[in-house]
A and B are shown apart, each in its own frame.
Chain A
Amino acid sequence: MPEGPGRSESSPIRWRSGGGRVLADQAQDVQPISVEHWPNPKLSPIFILSTQPKLVIVGLLDRLLPFALRSLLTPNVPLVMATGEVGYNRGSCPILVIVITSPLNRFKKTAGVLRSSNALMALLVVFGLNLTFLCFHPFLKADPDALPSARSWVWWATQDYMHLHHEPPRVVLLGSSMVMNASWLQEAAYIKKDVDFVVNHRSTYLESVIEKHIPGAKATSFNFGMPGEMISDGYMIQRALFNGAEKPKVVALCLGTRDFMDTSFDCAAGTKPFQYLERFTDTHDLLELSMPNIWQRKNFYIKEFVYFEGQKWPIQVTLSEHIKNILHPLVAAFCKPSALDIQSEHDKQYAFYRSDIEKGVWVAHPTTPYHYYDNSGDWQRRHKNPNQKMFDNQLKWLELSLERCKKENIAPVIVNVPISPIALSLIPAQVYKRHVDTLQAVAAKYGCLYVDSNAKQTFVAQDFTDVCHMGASGGKKLLDIVGQAIADDARASMALTPSGSRVAGQPGAEIH
C-alpha cells in the first residue's frame, strides 16, 4: 500500500502498514482493523464517531478532508479504519465508519455520561438495531402491488397494464396529457361511446390505422399518456413494466416541449409516476439522474439508511396480514358485515387515500360540443425559462428510454406532438427550435424514426381545445400520424407484421 506523506510519530495522523490510516491521540487506543472493501463513494455515507468532537472538526478541516477527498478519488488509498458491507437485496451498500478514539480517562468520563443518559443509550440501541436490520433484513420483501398507494393516474394505468399479462399490448403510447386527451376524445368519437379516461387505455382507432397500413397486424394498443408525464416517467414505465413476456413490440414516444422542461417540476423522483413505479424496480443506479440535487435526496437517504423508515410499508403490510389472519376466526364468528365494509378488498385497501382519481372523474363523450379553454397563463408559466439543466436531464432519460428499447428489442418511434400557433407564440423561439433539433438528433443517434406532426399535418384552431391540448379532430390527425409512422418504420412494422405474411428475401422473413 502506498505510504502517506512523511509525518512524525507524535502527529495525530499515523500510518499503518497493511493499508489503514488512523487518526488518534494515543497509540494504545488504536485498534487494528483491516480494510475489506472499498465502496462506491457516491453511495456510502461516512459516519464519524468520536469522543472528541473538537478533534474531529480540527481533523476534518486540517487533515482529514484533503485526505478524504484524495482517498475518494483514488480508491487504492483507503481512508477508513473499519468498513462494513451491509447485506442488501438491492445491491451492495457499504457503510464507512471512522472511529476516532481519545485518551482512556476522557473516554471513561464520556462513557459515564452516556450510560447515565437514557436517551443517549436508547439512541445507541436504535443505532444498533438499525445496523442489525440493515444487515439481515428480517422482514420479507412485500409484494410491491400489496403496498398501499394512492389511486393516481399511474396506478390505474399500471393496474390495467398488469392485468393484460396474458396478452400484453403490442403498441404502447407514451406521453403527457397532450397525447392522453387527444387520443381518448378521438376514441370516444370513433367508437361512439363514452370513454372513461381512468380505466380505458385502449385506442381502437390507432389499432385500425395500423391495421390499415399493416394488414393482419392485430396491433393491440395501450395508451400510457398521463397528465404531467415527463420523459423520465415514460422511462420508468418501460423499466418497471415492459419486461419479459409483458413487453410491447412498439413504443411511440409522443413528446412536446413541456415534457422536457416543465418549470413546475422539481426532479424526476418527485413525480407521482416515479414514486409509484420505483417499487417495481431498483432505482439505485438512477440516483444522480433522478435527484441531481443533494437536498432532493434527503428523504431517499433517510429511507435508505434508517431501516424502519425505509421498510415501513412492508412492515405494516406484513403485520397487517398476520393480524388479520389471527383475528379472522373471531371476526367471522361474531361479526356481521358492516355497510362500511361492503366494498371490494381492492377499494378497502386504498380507502385512506382520498386524493385519489376515481372512475368516472374524467369521461370523454362521443359528441362533446367544441369549447375552448384559455390556459395560456399556465402554458407560459411552465415554459417561463429555457431551463437548460432540466432539459439536459430529461434528454438523458430519453436516451435511456431508447437504449432500453434497443436492449428489449422494442421498436421506438419518436413523434413531435402538434403545437398550436398560440402555444408557439407564447414560448421563446429558441425553446421550440431546441426541442425539434434535439428530437431529430436523438432519433438519428439511435436509428429510430422521428416524425414531426406539425410538418406532416395541418392542424387548425378547432383541433385544439386549449393552448396545447387537442380534441377529437386533432386526436384523429395525431393518431393517423402515429399509425403511419409505425408503418413507415421498418423495425416497427416488421415487429407487427404477422410472420406468415413476410415476403421472402426481405429482412425478417427468415424462419427462426
Chain B
Amino acid sequence: MAFVQAVLDGLMIGGVYAAISIGLTLVFGVMGIVNFAQAEFLMLGMFIAYFVWAYLGLDPLIGSIVAFVIIFALGIVIQRTLIQRVMRAPAVAQIFLTVGLLIVIENLALLAFGSSFRSVSTSYQTSSLRLGPLFIGVPYLAAFCMAVLSGFALWLFMDKSWYGQAMRATAQNPLAARLMGINVERMQQLAFGLGVGLTAFGGAIILPYFTVNPTVAEQFVILMFTAVVLGGLGNIAGAVVGGLTVGIIQSVSALVFPIQLQNFVLFLAFIGVLALRPHGLIGASR
C-alpha cells in the first residue's frame, strides 16, 4: 500500500512538474535554445503569487494567473532585448547568455527580497481527502488540477488557434514558416513568453505547500531537465509524460533511498536517457 500511496503522491507532484517542464520544452522546441535560466522564472512566479497573497489576500491558485501574465510579458521583453541577439550565434553564446540570465535573476531577487524563506497559509493547507486506504493532500490535488487545466489550455491554443499552429510551424522549420508569411521573430517571442509564463504558473500553484526564497530554483533544475530530456527536448506531450515520470521516480525512490539521494536517482535516469535515447523515451527523432 505504501507503494501505491507513493505512486499517487508522485502523480500529484508530477503533474506540476509537467506544467513546469512544458515551459522549458516549448522554448527549446520553437527556438532551439536550452534556457538554463528557466527555473528562475519558477522562483519569480512563486514570489509573485506570494506577494499577491500577502498584499491582496488572494489565494496562490488565483495568484498563479497574475504570475503567468507578468512573467509572460517579462519573457517577451527578455526575448526581444537579449535572446534574439544570439539566435544565430554559436551554441556557446546561447548557453552563456541564459546562464548569465540565471545569475542576474537569482541575485536581483536576493537583493530585492532577501534570503529568508516565505510561505503562505491557506484554509485548506493541512486538509486531505481519503480514498479508502489512500490519502491525497488538498493543496497537492488543487495544484495537480491547475496543472492539468493549464496543460489543456495550452493544448487548445497550440492545436486550434492560428498562433499555436504558426508557432508549431516555426518549430518544425523556421525558414518554411517565414516563407508562409509567419513572423518568426514574433513567434519566438510568443514561445519564450509562454514558456517562462507557464513555468512561473507552475511555481505559483505549488506555493500552498512549498516555501519560497531566491535560491529555490536550485531544487528544480535537475528534475526539470530530467523531465524534459525523458520526454525528448522540444516535445510537449513528452514533457507531460516526463514530468509525471519524474514525480513518480522521486516519490517511489524516497521509499528506498534517503531523501538526499533523490536527485542522484534522477540523475541516473537523466544520463541514461541522454546516452541511450537522446531524443526522449517516447518521441520520434526531431
Answer yes or no: do A and B interact: no
Q: B residues near A, CB below 8 A?
A: none
